[in-house]
């Protein structure tokens, strides 16, 4: 009998003892997620030539089609994650999207490639919300932004290394081989996640809130959405990250093509000399941004974290815009790297704050709702908008049409800056 009573304590101790390992595995999973998602960026030009596609079709493959399934399926899967074992959902999802990425390498036309990209989106829908929910259970509020910042390294390093690996493999063996090389290892990682990661108890790091909320029935999906809608700070945070992602996905998705078309760089140059340094710069931005956000929260309250993001984005904005109007390659790339140094600071604090504002038993669902809007608008419309605008401007500007299309999207940045500022104001009023 004593052994039975002690089992929850033993499980909690094991979960906390392994939380560093769990965070590492979740970060690696996110790494593979973004690598498989973003590898298309460096492969757009050879795919365009091989399959004879337009920029609009490439924008669909990069954004909208993937995002529709990735974002919409995220909500019901998150609902499942709030009820069942999150680790198993993450492992199964990782196996699915990795296999679909590898299958992209055998596509013979636009339709086949489109279907395999849908498969990638379906798989990736089950990763983010349960991962964020697990991290929130393992780390208390005063450490959560830093933990989420570490988790966000999967985005920043995954995108950069995906471009580097994809570019080099594509240069040597073609774009189809590149898809297979980045897809297959994810299946192995899925097995490691399934048999090594420990599923933590919900609310493990929020003892006081557990006492208040665990006796309440699990709210319905619609009620959960209404709860988020009536939380003004959460709404502004979601709007902030949604519009930031629209600009970010648009510019990172087309960045390698822009460097090749307008700056005269080769695919191999972008892969070897831009991708990894940009990823590392953004990683530093995320880690430092998360640490600053946690320090500011400890000293002045959590409401200061959105303001940290707003300040970082304001500093990055002129350098991001300047990148599209500097023809000197070294100066243009310097502007690009300076922007990257500040632009990645938003990810960790934003998702940490959403998890803090969410009811304990709706953490995965709130994460999924945030990802729903972020990816439908950001990932779905960002790359597509750039591709469509580029096609429209091509008769006038030729190969330079992409430059002006990306500049037009970058000009949206002040809107999310305002959203983050406003979120901080609302959080200060209700603390």
Quote the CA–CA distance of 94 and 33 in Å, as a whole number: 8
Helix axes 304-322, 414-429, angle to 10 degrees: 170
Quick one: pLDDT at residue 5? 37
Structural domain contains residue 3: no
Quick one: pLDDT at residue 221? 67
Quote the CA–CA distance of 286 and 188 in Å, as a whole number: 27
Quick one: pLDDT at residue 218? 60
Structural domain contains residue 208: no
Whether residue 150 contacts residue 287, with contact meaning beta carbons closer than 8 Å, is answered with yes
Structural domain contains residue 52: yes
**Average model confidence (pLDDT) across the chain:** 86
* Confidence band, pLDDT 50/70/90 cuts, at residue 319: very high
Quick one: pLDDT at residue 3? 44
Quick one: pLDDT at residue 88? 94
The answer, yes or no, to whether residue 229 has pLDDT greater than 70, is yes
Please state, in angstroms and as integers, the Cα–Cα distance from residue 169 to each residue in 139, 182, 407, following that order: 38, 10, 30
Q: Where are the alpha helices (H) located in 301-413, listed in sequence order?
A: 304-322, 329-343, 347-357, 363-373, 380-397, 401-410
The span from the first CA to the last CA of the chain, in angstroms, equals 43
The pLDDT of 81-88, averaged and rounded, is: 87
* Confidence band, pLDDT 50/70/90 cuts, at residue 148: confident
Structural domain contains residue 211: no
Structure tokens at 234: 């959460």
Whether the CA torsion 325, 374, 99, 162 is positive or negative: it is positive
The answer, yes or no, to whether residue 210 has pLDDT greater than 60, is no
Structural domain contains residue 209: no
The pLDDT of 4-28, averaged and rounded, is: 79
Structure tokens at 343: 């632009």
Q: Give me Rg for the CA atoms of the chain.
A: 21
* Confidence band, pLDDT 50/70/90 cuts, at residue 415: very high
Q: What is the dihedral angle through the alpha carbons of 68, 399, 323, 57, rounded to the nearest 10 degrees?
A: 10
Quick one: pLDDT at residue 154? 86
Structure tokens at 396: 């006038």
The pLDDT of 211-240, averaged and rounded, is: 76
* Confidence band, pLDDT 50/70/90 cuts, at residue 162: confident
* Confidence band, pLDDT 50/70/90 cuts, at residue 26: very high
The answer, yes or no, to whether residue 375 has pLDDT greater than 90, is no
Structural domain contains residue 212: no
The answer, yes or no, to whether residue 136 has pLDDT greater than 70, is yes
Q: What is the dihedral angle through the alpha carbons of 87, 92, 98, 104, rounded to the nearest 10 degrees?
A: -150
The pLDDT of 67-89, averaged and rounded, is: 83
Print the domain residue range for 152.
11-202+219-429
Whether residue 27 contacts residue 151, with contact meaning beta carbons closer than 8 Å, is answered with yes
Quick one: pLDDT at residue 2? 40
| Total tally of structural domains belonging to the chain | 1
Q: What angle do CA 389, 391, 393 make, to 5 degrees?
A: 70
* Confidence band, pLDDT 50/70/90 cuts, at residue 6: very low
Q: Where are the alpha helices (H) located in 139-261, listed in sequence order?
A: 141-173, 175-196, 207-213, 221-229, 232-261
Q: Provide the 3-class DSSP secondary structure of residue 399.
A: helix
* Confidence band, pLDDT 50/70/90 cuts, at residue 421: very high
Give every CB contact of residue 120 below 8 A, 6+ residues apart in sequence. 36, 37, 66, 97, 100, 101, 104
Residue with tokens 């959080």: 427
Please state, in angstroms and as integers, the Cα–Cα distance from residue 126 to each residue in 46, 70, 237, 354, following that order: 30, 8, 22, 18
Nearest to 149 by CA among 297, 365, 1: 297
The pLDDT of 192-220, averaged and rounded, is: 70
The pLDDT of 399-405, averaged and rounded, is: 92
Structural domain contains residue 175: yes
Structural domain contains residue 2: no
Nearest to 342 by CA among 413, 421, 408, 419: 413
Quick one: pLDDT at residue 234? 92
For position 234, which CATH number holds?
Answer: 1.20.1250.20
Quick one: pLDDT at residue 414? 96
Quote the CA–CA distance of 249 and 260 in Å, as a whole number: 18
The answer, yes or no, to whether residue 401 has pLDDT greater than 90, is yes
The pLDDT of 168-191, averaged and rounded, is: 92
The pLDDT of 91-116, averaged and rounded, is: 92
pLDDT one-digit tens code per residue, 43-74: 888 998 899 888 888 878 876 777 778 777 87
């Amino acid at each position: 009998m004593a052994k039975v009573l002690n089992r929850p304590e033993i499980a909690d101790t094991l979960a906390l003892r392994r939380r560093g390992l769990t965070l590492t595995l979740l970060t690696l999973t996110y790494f593979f997620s973004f690598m498989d998602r973003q590898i298309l960026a460096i492969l757009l030009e050879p795919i365009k030539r091989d399959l004879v596609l337009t920029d609009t079709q490439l924008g669909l493959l990069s954004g909208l089609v993937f995002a529709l399934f990735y974002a919409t399926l995220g909500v019901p899967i998150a609902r499942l994650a709030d009820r069942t074992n999150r680790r198993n959902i993450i492992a199964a999802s990782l196996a699915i999207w990795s296999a679909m990425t590898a299958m992209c390498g055998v596509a013979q036309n636009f339709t086949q490639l489109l279907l395999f990209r849908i498969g990638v989106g379906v798989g990736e829908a089950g990763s983010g919300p349960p991962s964020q929910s697990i991290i929130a259970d393992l780390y208390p509020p005063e450490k959560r932004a830093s933990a989420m910042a570490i988790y966000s390294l999967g985005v920043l390093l995954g995108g950069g290394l995906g471009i580097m690996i994809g570019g080099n493999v594509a240069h040597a063996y073609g774009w189809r081989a590149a898809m297979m090389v980045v897809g297959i290892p994810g299946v192995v990682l899925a097995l490691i996640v399934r048999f090594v990661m420990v599923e933590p108890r919900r609310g493990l790091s929020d003892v006081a809130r557990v006492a208040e909320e665990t006796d309440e029935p699990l709210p319905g999906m619609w009620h959960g959405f209404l709860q988020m809608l009536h939380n003004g700070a959460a709404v502004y945070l979601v709007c902030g990250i949604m519009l930031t992602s629209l600009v970010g996905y648009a510019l990172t998705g087309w960045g390698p093509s822009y460097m090749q078309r307008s700056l005269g760089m080769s695919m191999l140059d972008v892969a070897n000399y831009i991708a990894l340094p940009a990823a590392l710069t953004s990683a530093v931005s995320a880690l430092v941004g998360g640490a600053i956000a946690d320090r500011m929260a400890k000293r002045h309250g959590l409401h200061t974290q959105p303001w940290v993001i707003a300040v970082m984005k304001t500093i990055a904005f002129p350098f991001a815009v300047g990148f599209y109007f500097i023809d000197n390659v070294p100066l243009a790339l310097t502007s690009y790297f300076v922007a990257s140094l500040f632009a990645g600071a938003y990810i960790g604090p934003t998702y940490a704050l959403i998890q803090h504002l969410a009811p304990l038993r709706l953490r995965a669902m709130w994460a999924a709702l945030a990802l729903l809007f972020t990816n439908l608008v950001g990932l779905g419309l960002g790359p597509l908008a750039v591709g469509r605008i580029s096609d429209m401007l091509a008769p006038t500007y030729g190969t330079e049409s992409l430059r002006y299309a990306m500049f037009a999207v970058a000009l949206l940045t002040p809107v999310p800056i305002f959203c983050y500022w406003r979120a901080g104001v609302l959080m200060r009023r209700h603390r």
